Amino acid sequence: MQQKLSELFIQQYQTLLGVAFQLARNEDDALDLMQDLAETIARNDRPASSIEHPMAFFRTCLRNARVNAIKKAQREIPSEPEVFSQIPAGDSVEEDVVGSAAMAWLKQELATYPPEMREAFYLYFFDGYSLDEVAKKLNINKNTLSQRFVRIRTKLVKKAADQSLFFALMVLFLLKPR
């Protein structure tokens, strides 16, 4: 009796898993690739002799599955939880777009700061924690934290003003001290 693709897959499982790991560079993704390959074989299980080079077929299926996973990940738009309650709700699409652009620019600029300072900034300006709470949480003196916020806010507003006065006003609105 002729050997089927599913039987060859089982015999060569460890080898194919190694190929999948080389493609994915992480165990979970490699196992996902193997699952995809197993499903492909199960849908069309036929004699291995019907394919000229079955191992090349398996490798091609793994590679194609990996390429598809990468393309899918690139198409997906990551979303963060909505915690920015100070974004002004606009009456028009233009206002919403400008507010979104200001917030995107602000996030990009904040990404250049150290993680501790970035976290403090988010906690105070966007999550609504008081200055005392943020200072205690991060074990920083309240006055030091306040001065750092003033310096960061000043730098951000100057950078925003270089783009436009309206943009600077949007950033000032988003970062108004409480």
Residue 67 sits in the same domain as residue 33: yes
Question: Who wins on pLDDT, 1 or 53?
Answer: 53
Question: Who wins on pLDDT, 73 or 55?
Answer: 55
Residue 63 sits in the same domain as residue 126: no
| Predicted confidence (pLDDT) at residue 84 exceeds the cutoff of 50 | no
Residue 71 sits in the same domain as residue 128: no
Distance in angstroms (rounded) separating the CA atoms of residues 121 and 151: 12
Give the pLDDT of residue 35.
Answer: 92
* Residue 125 within a domain: yes
Q: What proportion of the chain, given as a percentage, has pLDDT over 90?
A: 19
Residue 126 sits in the same domain as residue 168: yes
Residue 167 lies in domain:
93-174
- C-alpha distances (whole Å) from 14 to each of 8, 10, 53 are 11, 9, 18
CATH number at residue 152: 1.10.10.10
User: Is-above-0.75 flag for pTM?
Assistant: no
Q: What is the mean pLDDT of residues 132-159?
A: 87
Domain total of the chain: 2
Q: How confident is the model at residue 97 (pLDDT cuts 50, 70, 90)?
A: low
Residue 14 sits in the same domain as residue 64: yes
